[in-house]
Amino acid sequence: MWDNSLDSRLNKLIPEDRILRDEPMFLHTTFRVGGKAKRFITVREADEFAAVLGMLDDAGAVYSYDGKSSDDRVSYYVIGNGSNLLVSDAGYDGLIIDTSGMNDITVEGDMIIAQAGAMLGKIANTALDNDLKGFEFASGIPGTLGGAVCMNAGAYGGEMKDVITEVTVFDRESQSIKTLTCDEMDFGYRHSVIKNKPYVVLSARIMLTKGQHEEISALMKDYNGRRREKQPLEYPSAGSTFKRPTGFYAGGLIEESGLKGYSVGGAEVSDKHAGFVINKDKATAADIYRLICEVREKVYADTGVRLEPEVVFLGEFA
């Protein structure tokens, strides 16, 4: 929960116009659902970000998904573009730190160095402008570099782990900046060390190779065309709702269970791509959550396969 006495400490670190009170989270998620965050700030520099994290540590705040701690301490959470988040209708009773203002991208030879809040599409365009290949797979993923590193985002046979050489993180525990190698990132399928260590991503180095401008451009166009053709991009969603279970496709299992087009309130299993739960018509977070639960139950009952959500839940869900 938020403690108003922290407002004055936050004010010393972040200009007033970047401290939003009771900010609707539907404005910051691609599902376009979610209640209010008690406080919402956008950080613009690594130093500013580190100072806020230091202040929160000093105040005994906890990094928390549900905005609750057993001993009523202040909760906080870091987000990128909110493209893999389902925020509850009750919102988040704490501080949300949005990294999208930290978005510098620089090029050094075949290397791109980008801050956590840089959008993958912008990084891909920078790569294209500099005739660098290897990042095309990520060009249509609507997230930030920080979110993509955390999730080891991937598409069309590529994953962040294939191109990342180093990640600079802030360790919330030791309150220090660390540089991790790709090995130390412990990348796996939609997994990285960021998920189980007290780290937040500040920036990363992306190693690419020289390529032909036309080929890079054609590949990006091809991938993005395939997305438009196969995915329900006309509706708000968080992309694939579930991780791919070993040996299966989540969408295939959901379709076999007869759930394509199935809906709860305004949330629907897309009839274009059953792997996507979409906000079809003014869905609430509760509609989406219930639909996800029902899909998991039915698929498990029919096939014995447990679908694990890829989407990250933020706030309290019944």
Ligand X SMILES: Cc1cc2nc3c(=O)[nH]c(=O)nc-3n(C[C@H](O)[C@H](O)[C@H](O)COP(=O)(O)OP(=O)(O)OC[C@H]3O[C@@H](n4cnc5c(N)ncnc54)[C@H](O)[C@@H]3O)c2cc1C
Active site residues: 190, 240, 310
**CA dist., res. 69 & res. 101, Å (int):** 28
Residue 31: what residue type? F
Closer Cβ to ligand X, 154 or 211, answer by number: 154
- Asked if residue 237 binds ligand X (CB under 6 A), the reply is yes
Looking at 203-211, 230-238, 243-251, 256-264, which segment touches ligand X (CB under 6 A)?
230-238
- 239 contacts: CB under 8 Å, gap ≥ 6: 30, 83, 84, 141, 142, 231, 276, 310
Q: Which of 143, 211, 275, 309 binds ligand X (CB under 6 A)?
A: 143
Looking at 67-75, 124-132, 176-184, 234-242, which segment touches ligand X (CB under 6 A)?
234-242
Q: Which of 37, 95, 151, 269 binds ligand X (CB under 6 A)?
A: 151
Q: Which helix (H) or strand (E) holds 239?
A: strand 237-240
- Asked if residue 154 binds ligand X (CB under 6 A), the reply is yes
- Asked if residue 78 binds ligand X (CB under 6 A), the reply is yes
- Give the sign of the dihedral formed by CA 299, CA 304, CA 307, CA 313: positive
Q: Which helix (H) or strand (E) holds 177?
A: strand 176-181
Crossing angle for the helix pair 120-129 and 213-230, to the nearest 10 degrees: 150
- Asked if residue 53 binds ligand X (CB under 6 A), the reply is no
Q: Which of 43, 201, 254, 292 binds ligand X (CB under 6 A)?
A: 201
Residue 12: what residue type? K
- Cβ of residue 54: shortest distance to ligand X, in angstroms? 16
Q: Which of 42, 64, 75, 81 binds ligand X (CB under 6 A)?
A: 81
Q: Which of 10, 43, 128, 141 binds ligand X (CB under 6 A)?
A: 141
Mind giving me the DSSP string for 260-285? TT-EETTEEE-SS-TTEEEE-SS--H
Structure tokens that stand for 178 in this block:
């660390």
- Asked if residue 309 binds ligand X (CB under 6 A), the reply is no
Looking at 19-27, 206-214, 237-245, 283-291, which segment touches ligand X (CB under 6 A)?
237-245
- Asked if residue 94 binds ligand X (CB under 6 A), the reply is no
**CA dist., res. 81 & res. 221, Å (int):** 22
Q: Which of 91, 134, 142, 309 binds ligand X (CB under 6 A)?
A: 142
Q: Which of 89, 299, 312, 317 binds ligand X (CB under 6 A)?
A: 312
Closer Cβ to ligand X, 195 or 298, answer by number: 195
- Cβ of residue 290: shortest distance to ligand X, in angstroms? 20
**CA dist., res. 144 & res. 121, Å (int):** 9
Looking at 123-131, 151-159, 171-179, 286-294, which segment touches ligand X (CB under 6 A)?
151-159
The CA–CA distances, whole Å, from 298 to 254, 263, 277 equal 8, 13, 15
Q: Give the position of tokens 């956008």.
A: 42
Pairing of strands 237-240, 199-207: unpaired
- List contacts with ligand X (CB under 6 A): 30, 78-85, 99, 116, 141-144, 146-148, 150-151, 153-155, 194, 200-201, 233, 237-239, 312
